[in-house]
Structure 1
Amino acid sequence: MKIESLPPLAPPPVEPTSARRRWRVPVIVLAVLAVAGGGYAYTHKGSASPAPAPAAAAEKKATVHELSARDIARVEARPLAVTLPLSGSLTPLAQATVKSKVSGVVLQTTVQEGMNVTAGQVIARLDDNEARARVAQQQAALNEASARLALAKKNMANSAALLKQNYIAQNAFDTTANAVDLAQASVDAARAQLELARISLADTAIRAPISGVVSKRHVQAGEKLSPDSPVFSIVDLKQLTLDAQVPASDIPRIKVGQEVQFKVDGFGERNFAGKVVRINPATEAGSRAMLVYIGVDNPDGVLRAGMFAKGMVTTEKSAPHALLPLLGVRKEGGRDVVYRVDGGKVEAKAVTLGLKNEDDGLVEAIDGIDPGALVLAVKLDGVKPGDKVKLPEATPATPAKKG
C-alpha cells in the first residue's frame, strides 16, 4: 500500500502595515456612531411620536344623524291666527214666555215640550163662552147708541128747518146739535167696547208669538188662568248667543266681528263657528271678567240652549305666509335662524319672523324660507350646519329650491 501525503497549506499573505492602518480607522468610526445612535434611541424611548397611520385609516367616517318624524316639519304657507281661549253657555237669541191675556179655564193645549211651533200657531184654548157673551153685550150697546145718534140727527135736522123759519130760538137748535155730538160720542165708546170684547174673545185662543221649540209647558187642561199667567216657554234655536266670560285684561284684544271657533260637549271633534256681536261694558259681579256675546247660526238646530262650549276667538290674522315650528327657530349671531334639510344635509337659513302663535307653536316667516321646505322642528343637540342626516322613510322628498 502506497501512502501519499498532502502538500502543506500555504501561509496567509501578510498585509503591509500601511494597509492594516487604512481599514481600521473606518471600522472604529462606524462602531462609535453605532454606540452613539443606540444610546440616543435608548434615552428617547417612549417620547418618540407614533408613525403616521395610512391615509385610508386617517379618514374618519362622517357621522349621519338619523331623524324621526317628530324632528322635522314641512313648511306650509297659510294664514296664521292668534287666538284667545274662552268658554261659556249657549242661550237663545230670541225666547218668549207666553202668558194668558185674559182669565179663563184652559180647554186644551195643542203642543208639548220639544215640539216645533210657528209664529201665530194656536198652542192653547180657553173657555170663550164669557167672552162671546161680552161681545154680544157690547154689540147691543153699540146698536143702542147708534139708534140714539140717528134720532139726535133727525131732531137736529128738524130744528135747523124751524130755525130757518124763525120758529125756534138759536139756543134750541144748539141744544139739538149738542145732543147729536153726545150721541156720536156714545156710539164711539160702544164701538170701542165692542172691539175690546172681540179682542178678549180672540185672546182665548193663545198663539205662539215666535217660531221655535217649546221648552216648557206651565199649565194643564182644566186649570183656571188669570191675566199674565204663564202658559208656555218657547225658544228660537235658529240663532244662539254664546255668553263667554273674558278677563278684563284681555278685553282690549276683543273686537266686534272677530271670528270664534268652539266645540260643544257631546259633538266630538265637530267645530262650530260664530262672531263677536256685542261686548258688555261692565264686569261681572264678584269677578274681573266681562261678558262677550258671540252670535252663532244654528240652521240645523243641533245646538240647544244651556249647552257648554269651549273655543277660541281669533284676535289677529295675517295673510298667507310660510309657517315655521316655533321650537325650531334659534338665535345665531343676533339673527333668527332655522335649520333646513336639503339633500340629506343640514344648512342654516336666516329668516325674518312675523306673527307668533305660542299656543299652536307656530311663527310666521315673512322672508328667508320657501313653502314646502323641510326644516328641523326642534333643537337637536349635536346637529349643526353641514352635518348629514337620514330622513324617515315616510318623509317626502324635499322640493327643489326656487330660483
Structure 2
Amino acid sequence: MQNIFLKRNKRGQLLWRMPLISVGVVLLCSIAWLIYANKTTAQAKTTENPAASKEPVYELSAVDVANAETRQISSQLALSGALAPETQVTVRSKVIAEVAEAPVQEGIAVHKGQIIARFTAADLHARLITQEAMVDEAQAKLALAKKNRISNETLLKQNYISQNAFDTTHNGLELAQASLKSALSQKEVAQLALADTQIRSPIDGVVSKRHVQPGEKVSPDTALYSIVNLSHLTLEAQVPASEIPRVKAGQTVLFRVDGFGAREFQGKVARINPAVEAGSRSMIVYIAVDNPDTSLKVGMFAKGNLVLEKTASSAVVPLSAVRQVNGADVVYQVVNEQVKIQPVKLGLRSEDEGLAQIVQGLEPGALVIVSRLDTVKAGSKVRLPKADAKPAANTDSSAASAPKA
C-alpha cells in the first residue's frame, strides 16, 4: 500500500510541474523572439541611417538657371515727341500780279526748280521792252560821246580848242557811260520781275499747303505755297533736365510710330535746346531722322528709347542672378551639379533689358541660378534640367522643387 501511495504522489507532482515547464518554454521563446526582433530593427536602422544622413539634392527647372551670354547691352532713356520737318519753306510772291495758274495741290511731290505757279505778265513784258529801249538809247549816246572825245582830243593837241572844251566833252562821255549802266540795271530789274511771274519750288519736297487760287491778286510777300522736305525729319522729344548730362550728340534713338506695327525707326541726337521749359522743367532734344521712303509724315507721334551707353560684346547675365554677399557682388554658379558662390565685377546694368555686364569673374557659357531659391545655399547639391529644356533668360521664383534623396 505504501508503495502504491508513493507512486501516486510522484505522479501528482509530475502533473503539477508540467504547466510550469510549458510556461517557461513559452517565456524563453518570447524572449528569444524579442531579442531577434530588436536585433533586426537595429540592423535596419543601421542600414537606413547613412541614406538619411545624405545631403538633399535640389532639382532645378529650366526657369531656375541661365547661361552667361556674349552680347552687347545698353542703358536707355524712354522719350516721346512729334516729328517735324527739317526743311520747310513758304514760297511768297515778289511782285504785284494776278495768279494765272496754280496747278500743284497739297500732297504733290515737287522738285527744286519746278514751276508750280504762273502770274499774268503783260505789264512786266511792256516794262522790259521799255527798259531795253532805254538801254539802246544809252548805248547810242555813249557811242556819240566816245566819238566826240576822240575828235576833241585831236583838236586839243592842235590847239584848236581849249582845255575846258575838251574837259566838257570828256565829262559828257562819263555821263553817257553812267546812263548806260543805269539803263542796264533797270533792264535787269525788269527781267527779274518778269522771271518772278514763274514761281519755282526752291527745294525738293511735298506741297503741304496751297495758299492762292487762279485769278487772285497778289502783292510782294504774299504766301503762295508751303513745301516740306520729308526725306529728313526731326523728332522733337522732351527729356527731364536731370537726364540731360547723360545725353550727347550722336547718340542713337530707336522709336516706333502708331500705325506701323512692330517696325522700328532710328535716329541720332543732333542738338539739344539750351533752355529749360518753364512748365515741365524739361529740355527739348532734337533727333535727326532719315526718311528716304517718306513713310513718316510731319506731326506723327513717336515713342522710343535713347541709347545712353552701349557696351562691347562681353559676358552678360540676368540681373536676377546677381546677389549681394557681405557687400560684394556674386552669382550662384552651378559647377558639377553643385552650387558655388562666384564673386564677379559688374559693368553696365541695363534695367530695360534686365541684364548685367560681367567684367571679371565669369566666363561666357557659365551656368548660374537666376531664381531666388531660399533653400539652396553654397555647396548645395542640385540636379539640372534635362538637356532638351532651355535655361531661362531671366526669372524670379520663390522656392526650389522639393529635395530628393
Cα RMSD (Å): 2.8
* Secondary structure, aligned partner of 1:281: coil
**Counterpart position of 2:202:** 209
Instruction: Verify: 1:188 aligned to 2:210, yes or no.
Output: no
Q: Contact 1:344/1:391 (CA < 8 Å) preserved in 2?
A: no
> TM-score normalized by structure 1?
0.81
Q: Which runs of 5+ in 2 are unaligned?
A: 9-40, 393-405
* Secondary structure, aligned partner of 1:293: strand
Instruction: Verify: 1:158 aligned to 2:151, yes or no.
Output: yes
Match of 2:382 among 388, 392, 399: 388
* Secondary structure, aligned partner of 2:248: coil
Q: Give the Cα–Cα distance (whole angstroms) in 2 for the partners of residues 255 and 300 of structure 1.
A: 27
* Secondary structure, aligned partner of 2:187: helix
Write 1 or 2 for the structure with the bigger share of helix.
Answer: 2
Tell me the CA shift for residue 190 of structure 1: 0.5
**Counterpart position of 1:30:** none
Identical amino acids, percent of aligned pairs: 51
CA-to-aligned-CA distance 1:122-151 (integer Å, 9 cap, x gap): 111111112111110100111111111122
**Counterpart position of 1:289:** 282
Instruction: Verify: 1:320 aligned to 2:274, yes or no.
Output: no
With CA pairs under 8 Å and 6+ residues apart, which has the higher RCO, 1 or 2?
Answer: 2
Q: Give the Cα–Cα distance (whole angstroms) in 1 for the partners of residues 269 and 81 of structure 2.
A: 13
**Counterpart position of 1:94:** 87
Equivalent residue letter for 1:316? E
**Counterpart position of 2:397:** none
Q: More deviation in 202-211 or 50-59?
A: 50-59
Equivalent residue letter for 1:67? S
**Counterpart position of 1:54:** 45
Q: Which runs of 5+ in 1 are unaligned?
A: 13-49, 399-403
Q: Give the Cα–Cα distance (whole angstroms) in 2 for the partners of residues 11 and 379 of structure 1.
A: 92
**Counterpart position of 1:130:** 123
Q: Contact 1:354/1:365 (CA < 8 Å) preserved in 2?
A: yes
* Secondary structure, aligned partner of 1:331: strand
CA-to-aligned-CA distance 1:6-61 (integer Å, 9 cap, x gap): x958879xxxxxxxxxxxxxxxxxxxxxxxxxxxxxxxxxxxxx968524544248
Aligned residue pairs: how many?
358
Q: Contact 1:78/1:323 (CA < 8 Å) preserved in 2?
A: yes
> TM-score normalized by structure 2?
0.81
Q: Contact 1:65/1:383 (CA < 8 Å) preserved in 2?
A: no
1:3-402 to 2 correspondence within 5 Å? 54-58=45-49, 59-60=51-52, 62-69=56-63, 71-341=64-334, 345-385=338-378, 386-391=380-385, 394-396=388-390
Q: Give the Cα–Cα distance (whole angstroms) in 1 for the partners of residues 242 and 43 of structure 2.
A: 71
CA-to-aligned-CA distance 1:238-282 (integer Å, 9 cap, x gap): 111111111111111111121221122222222211111211221
Q: 1:153 to 1:270 in 2, by over 3 A?
A: same
Of structures 1 and 2, the larger Rg is shown by 1
